[in-house]
Chains A and B, each alone.
Chain A
Amino acid sequence: MNMDINHIANLARLELTEAEKEKYQKQLGSILNYVNKLSQAKTDGIETSDGGTRDLENIWADDISNKMFSNKEQELIKQAPAVEKGQVKVKSVF
Chain B
Amino acid sequence: MIKKLHEQLIKKQKSAVEITQEYLERAKKSDLNAFITLTEQQALAQAKLIDEKISAGEPISELAGIPCSIKDIILVKDIRATGGSKILDNYISSYDATLVAKLKEQGVVIIGKNNCDEFAMGSSNETSAYGSVKNPHNTELVPGGSSGGSAASVAENTSVFSIGTDTGGSIRQPSALCGVVGLKPTYGAVSRSGLMAMASSLDQAGVIGQSIEDVKIVFDIISGKDNLDATSITEEQENRETNKQIDFKKLKIGVPKEYFAYDFDPEIKSAVEDTINQAEKLGAKIVQVSLPHTEYALAVYYIIMPSEVSSNMARYDGIRYGMSEQSAKNLSDIYKKTRGQYFGDEVKRRILLGTYALSAGYYDAYYKKAQQVRTLIRQDFEQVFDKVDLLITPTTPHVAWKIGEKKDDPLSMYLEDIFTVPVNIAGLPGLSIPVGKTKSNLPIGAQLIGKWNDEELLFAVANHLTT
Contact = CB atoms under 8 A, between A and B. Distances in A.
Given A37-B295, A48-B372, A13 B336 contact: yes
Interface in A39-94: 39, 41, 43, 46-54, 56, 59, 61, 68-69, 72, 75-76, 79-82, 88, 90-94
Contact of B330 (A3, A68, A94): A94
Contacts of B230: 56, 59
Given A41-B373, A51-B200, A15 B340 contact: yes
Interface in B228-259: 230-231, 233
B340 A16 contact: yes
A44 B452 CA distance: 26
Nearest to B94: A76
B411 interface: yes
B295 to A, nearest CB: 7
Where chain B touches its partner, the secondary structure class is helix
A35 B202 contact: no
B302 interface: yes
B335 interface: yes
Nearest to A17: B340
A43 B202 CA distance: 21
A1 to B, nearest CB: 8
Contacts of B414: 31
B92 to A, nearest CB: 7
Interface of A: 3, 5, 7-9, 11-16, 20, 24, 27-28, 30-32, 34-39, 41, 43, 46-54, 56, 59, 61, 68-69, 72, 75-76, 79-82, 88, 90-94
Given A3-B356, A91-B333, 16 more contacts: A8-B352, A12-B351, A13-B332, A24-B349, A28-B353, A31-B302, A34-B299, A35-B299, A38-B369, A41-B296, A48-B371, A50-B201, A52-B200, A68-B95, A81-B326, A91-B330
15 contacts: A14-B343, A35-B299, A35-B302, A37-B296, A39-B369, A41-B296, A43-B376, A46-B375, A49-B374, A53-B233, A79-B92, A80-B319, A81-B319, A91-B333, A92-B331
